[in-house]
Amino acid sequence: MSLNNKKDKFIASLLGGAIGDALGYAVEFMLLDEIIDKYGSQGISDLDIDKEEGKALISDDTQMTLFTANGILMACKSIIDYGNGSYIENGIYQSYLQWYYTQNSKFNLEKRACFQKNMTFGKQDNIMQYKKLFVQRAPGISCLSALESNKMGTIEHPINDSKGCGGVMRVAPIGLFFHNDTEYAFSVGAEAAALTHGHPTGYLAAGVFASIIAELVNCNNIIDGTLNSIRVLKTYSNHEETLNAIMKAIDLSNSNEKTNIAISKLGEGWVAEEALAIALYCSLKEKDFIKSLIMSVNHDGDSDSTGSICGNILGACYGIKALPKDWANKMELKELILNMSNKLYDVSVSAGNSIYRSWT
């Protein structure tokens, strides 16, 4: 695959995830019957445009995805400047603390100093200058409470027993950045989720998702990329719940079950394995970007997270040509999303095949 095609997939995955997030954010917390009552028999099928902003609004899912990308760039800057560091401790965790500050101004002085350090690529690229990121868009309780605790959750020392989808919905940038090493993408994705979600399913579902995104950048189709990622998943302890959800999604995508019934059998998406399973099912069931996204958000439950994950997958698989231009142009913070996508790609390419394994 040419470098231009890979860059195309970086952009499409993050922008596609934002589109899915925005489509689902309008109906998050609504039951399917309520969605149909409001939008008609097909459910929501177009972006809701905020009257004041004139844009389709993103939720905390895209906010945290952007802060994940920012954390990777922070870690790379630290390595370049100081010669050592960690993607998790020196990058992603610090960036999540920045996100926490945007959602809660009651921030202790130590954490305030962390985010005030300009650890990105120059002041003009500081993510904290974007005021719209300071708007609360239904941030997850597990994410907020974990980051407020002054403790950094790890797989070895879990911070809680949460398996909410807040760990999985934000790790697409990890799969993109580490696309040359899908096993490593899995590992970093799981560790990033474990910062706030300590249940094995909470972080293993994130690992699988990051690995699938990495696979898709390398031309694999969704089913092959998923099966390759499952092989990695099986090497981890306590993988059964995540594996069962994924296999159920694959089986249902090959069945004649009505879509709404199939999704209901997978869950509502509030927890990690359900959100991933619903997104995978919709990605496999319908190859058209718009139809798949519409399917992924019209259900009882966490519609913005399932839409976001589905959009990440479809974008990484099919590239920018699959995204509807009119939807893309209506996205809140589109320029920041494009900027982050480009920078993530540029730094990933400069890292080469080594992927800086020694940095974690």
pLDDT (tens digit, 9 = 90+) per residue, 125-137? Answer: 689 889 899 999 9
261-266 mean pLDDT: 98
The pLDDT score that the predictor gives to residue 354 is: 45
pLDDT tens-place string over residues 128-176: 889 899 999 999 999 999 999 989 999 999 999 999 999 999 999 999 9
Is the pLDDT score of 120 beyond 70? Answer: no
Which residue bears the tokens 């058209």?
288
Flag the least confident range among 115-119, 239-243, 326-330, 333-337.
115-119
Question: CA nearest 202: which of 192, 188, 214, 216?
Answer: 192
Residue 212 tokens, joined: 């699938």
| pTM to 2 decimal places | 0.93
215-244 mean pLDDT: 97
Mean pLDDT score across all residues of the chain: 91
The CATH number of 3-58+159-351, from 2.120.10.30, 3.40.190.290, 1.10.4080.10, 1.10.760.10, is: 1.10.4080.10
Question: CA nearest 209: which of 292, 272, 289, 291?
Answer: 272
* Residue 271 bridge partners (DSSP): 164
**Which residues touch 330 (CB under 8 Å, ≥6 apart)?**
47, 49, 55, 56
- Could you give the 3-state DSSP secondary structure of residue 335? helix
* C-alpha 264, offset from chain centre: 22
Sequence ranges of the domains in the chain: 3-58+159-351
Residue 202 tokens, joined: 């909470």
